[in-house]
A and B are shown apart, each in its own frame.
Chain A
Amino acid sequence: MTVINTQIRETLFKEVSPEPLAFFRIVFGLLMTFSTIRYIANGWVTEFFVQPEHYFKYPYFHWVQNPGEIGIYLLFGTLLLSSILITIGYKYRFAAITFLLSFLYIELIDITYYLNHYYFVSLIAFIMVFLPAGNCFSIDALQKGETESIPNWTILIIKFQVAVVYVFAGIAKLNYDWLIDAMPLSIWLPANSHLPIIGGLLKLQFTAYFFSWFGAIYDLFIVFFLIYPKTRKVAYFLVIVFHLSTSALFNIGVFPYVMIALTTIFFDKSFQINVVNRLKKWFGYKTNVVTTHSYRPIMKTVVSTSILIFTIIQLAIPLRFLLYSGDLFWKEEGYRFSWRVMLMEKAGTVFFTVVDKDTNKKIEIVNSDYLTPNQEKQMSTQPDLILQYVKIIEEDFASKGITNVEIYADSFVKLNGDFSKRYINDKVDLTKKSYHDDLDTWILPNN
Chain B
Amino acid sequence: MIFKKVIYVLFIAVFMLSCSNENTGNPKIDIDKKALLTNYADNLIIPAFEDLYLKSNTLIERFAELKLEYSEQRYNKVRQAFSDLRNSWQYCSAYGFGPAEDVVLRQTLNTFPTDTIRIKDNIASGTYSLVTSSNFKAKGFPALDYLLFNVESNTQESVFTDTKVLQYLEDIIKDIKTNIDYVRNGWQSYRDVFISKTGNDAGSSLSLLINEFVKDYELAKRAKVGFPLGKSSSDVLPYHFEAPYSMNSSRILGFNLQSYRMIITGPENNDLTKTDNLYEYLSELSVTRGDALLADVILEEFDETIGLLNKMDIPFRKSLELPTEKEKIEALYKNMQESVVLLKTDMVSAMGILINYQDNDGD
Interface residues of A (CB under 8 A from B): 42, 44, 48, 113, 115-117, 169, 180-183, 186-188, 190-194, 203, 205-206, 208-210, 213-215, 217, 219, 221, 225, 230-231, 234-235, 243, 246-247, 250-256, 341-342, 345-349, 351, 356, 359, 361-366, 373-374, 377, 380, 410, 412-414, 417, 419-420
Question: 9 A-B residue contacts at CB 8 Å?
Answer: A115-B360, A194-B33, A194-B198, A213-B17, A252-B361, A341-B362, A356-B234, A363-B234, A417-B25
Chain B neighbourhood of A250, CB < 8 A: 360, 362-363
Q: Is the beta-carbon distance between A191 and B353 smaller than 8 angstroms?
A: yes
Residues on A with C-beta less than 8 A from B353 are 191
Q: Mark B1-41, 1 if CB is under 8 A from A, else 0.
A: 11100100010011101100110111111110110000000
Point out the residues of chain B lying under 8 angstroms from A356, CB to CB.
234
- Report yes or no: A373 in contact with B355, Cβ–Cβ below 8 A: yes
B45 at the interface (CB under 8 A from A): no
Contacts of B21 in A (CB 8 A): 180, 182, 205, 209
A42: which B residues are within 8 A, CB to CB? 357
12 A-B pairs besides A213-B14, A252-B359, A359-B234 with CB distance below 8 A are A115-B360, A187-B352, A194-B34, A205-B22, A205-B25, A209-B17, A221-B6, A252-B361, A253-B362, A256-B362, A342-B360, A414-B345
Distance of A231 Cα from B3 Cα, bound (Å): 7
> Given A181-B24, A348-B345, A187–B358 Cβ distance below 8 Å?
no
User: Which of A116, A217, A256 has the largest number of chain B CB atoms within 10 A?
Assistant: A217
> Taking the complex as formed, is B231 at the interface, i.e. its CB lies under 8 A from any CB of chain A?
yes
Q: Which of B111-119, B147-155, B199-207, B259-267 contacts A (4 or more CB under 8 A)?
A: B199-207
A250 to B222 CA separation, bound complex (whole angstroms): 33
Does B362 contact A347, Cβ atoms closer than 8 Å? no
Which single residue of chain A is at the shortest CB-CB distance from B202?
A251
Given A194-B33, A417-B287, A342–B14 Cβ distance below 8 Å? no
Contact B346 A419 (CB under 8 A): yes
Q: Contact between B351 and A191 (Cβ–Cβ < 8 Å)?
A: yes
A419→B354 CA distance, assembly (Å): 19
Looking at the assembled complex, report how far the CB atom of B191 sits from the nearest CB atom of chain A, in whole angstroms.
Answer: 18
Q: Is the CB of A349 within 8 A of B345?
A: yes
Chain B positions near chain A (C-beta within 8 angstroms): 1-3, 6, 10, 13-15, 17-18, 21-22, 24-31, 33-34, 198-202, 222, 226, 231-234, 285, 287-289, 294, 337, 340-342, 344-346, 348-363
Residue of A116, A192, A231, A419 near B1 (CB, 8 A) is A231
Chain B residues with CB under 8 A of A364: 226, 231-232
Interface pair B14/A187, CB less than 8 Å apart: no
Contact assessment for A117 and B345 in the assembled complex, using a CB-CB cutoff below 8 Å = no
Contact indicator A419/B289 (Cβ below 8 Å): yes
Chain A nearest CB from B174 CB (Å) reads 32
Q: Are A252 and B360 in contact (CB under 8 A)?
A: yes
Give the chain A neighbours of B341 by CB distance below 8 A: 349, 412, 420
Please indicate the chain A residues that have their CB under 8 angstroms from the CB of B345 in the complex: 347-349, 380, 412-414, 420
- Contact check, B233 vs A363: say whether CB atoms are below 8 A apart: yes
Provided the pairs A182-B25, A419-B289 are in contact, do residues A342 and B363 lie with their beta carbons within 8 angstroms?
yes
- Most chain A CB neighbours (cut-off 10 Å) among B2, B10, B342, B360: B360
Please state if B10 and A213 are interface contacts (CB–CB under 8 Å): yes
CA–CA, A206 and B349, complex, Å: 21
On whether A255 and B362 interact (CB within 8 A), knowing A191-B200, A217-B6, A234-B3, the answer reads yes
Residues from chain A with Cβ under 8 Å of B24 in the complex: 181
Write out the residue numbers on chain B whose beta carbons fall within 8 Å of the beta carbon of A253.
359-360, 362
Contacting pair B33 A366 (CB below 8 A): no
Q: Which of B14, B201, B226 contacts A251 (CB 8 A)?
A: B201
| In contact, A187 and B349 (Cβ under 8 angstroms) | yes
**Shortest Cβ distance from A359 into B: residue:** B234
Nearest Cβ on chain A to B198's Cβ, whole angstroms: 4
A237 CA to B87 CA in the complex, in Å?
60
- Give chain A nearest CB distance to B96 CB in angstroms: 14
Asked if B337 and A252 make an inter-chain contact with CB atoms under 8 angstroms apart, the answer reads no
Asked whether, in the complex, the Cβ of A345 is within 8 Å of the Cβ of B352, the reply is yes
Given the complex of chains A and B, what is the CA–CA distance between A215 and B69 in angstroms? Answer: 76
Q: Do the beta carbons of B356 and A349 come within 8 Å of each other?
A: no
Q: Which 10 A-B pairs have the closest CB atoms?
A: A252-B362, A191-B352, A253-B359, A255-B362, A361-B234, A194-B198, A347-B349, A209-B18, A191-B200, A190-B29
B25 proximity list for chain A (CB < 8 A): 181-183, 186, 205, 208, 417
In the docked arrangement, what's the CA distance between A363 and B199, Å?
Answer: 39
Find the B residue at minimum CB distance from A117: B362
Interface pair B10/A217, CB less than 8 Å apart:
yes
Residues of B within 8 A of A188 (CB): 352
Closest to A347 in B: B349
Give A38's nearest chain B residue, CB to CB.
B359
In the bound assembly, the distance between CA atoms of A217 and B8 in angstroms comes to 12
A321 to B323, CA, bound (A): 51
On whether the beta carbons of A115 and B361 are closer than 8 Å, the reply is yes
* Measured CA separation A181–B287 after assembly (Å): 13
Known: A234-B3, A410-B337. A342 touches B361 (CB 8 A): yes
- How far apart are the CA atoms of A13 and B345 in the complex, in Å? 54
Residues of the A chain whose Cβ atoms lie less than 8 Å from the Cβ of B6:
217, 221
CA distance A272 to B273 in the complex (A): 62
A231 touches B362 (CB 8 A): no
Nearest-CB residue, chain B, relative to A42: B357
For the complex, give the distance between the alpha carbons of A435 and B242 in Å.
42
Find chain B residues with CB under 8 A from A181 CB.
24-25
Point out the residue from A221, A361, A419 that lies within 8 Å of B294, measured CB to CB. Answer: A419
In Å, the complex CA distance between A191 and B207 comes to 11
CB distance from B159 to the nearest CB of A (A): 36
Tell me, rounded to whole Å, the shortest Cβ–Cβ distance linking B289 to chain A. 4
Q: Is the CB of B18 within 8 A of A192?
A: no
Across the interface, name the chain B residue whose C-beta is closest to A216: B10
Contacts of B360 in A (CB 8 A): 115, 250-253, 342
Residues on B with beta carbons closer than 8 Å to the beta carbon of A183: 25
Chain B residues closer than 8 Å to A117, beta-carbon distance: 361-362
User: How distant is B53 from chain A, measured CB to nearest CB, in Å?
Assistant: 31
> Are A252 and B363 closer than 8 Å at their CB atoms?
yes
Contact partner of A169 (CB less than 8 A), chosen from B2, B289, B363, is: B363
- Residues from chain B with a CB closer than 8 A to the CB of A243 are 363
B25 CB, nearest partner CB in chain A, Å: 5
**Which one of A255, A347, A419 lies within 8 Å of B288 (CB-CB)?**
A419
Chain A residues with Cβ below 8 Å from B288 are: 419
Q: Which of B27, B33, B337, B362 contacts A205 (CB 8 A)?
A: B27
Is the pair B13, A349 in contact by a Cβ cutoff of 8 Å? no
- Kindly list chain A residues whose C-beta atoms are within 8 Å of the C-beta of B31: 193
* Shortest distance from the beta carbon of B278 to any chain A beta carbon, whole Å: 14
Asked if B361 and A192 sit within 8 Å, CB to CB, the answer is: no
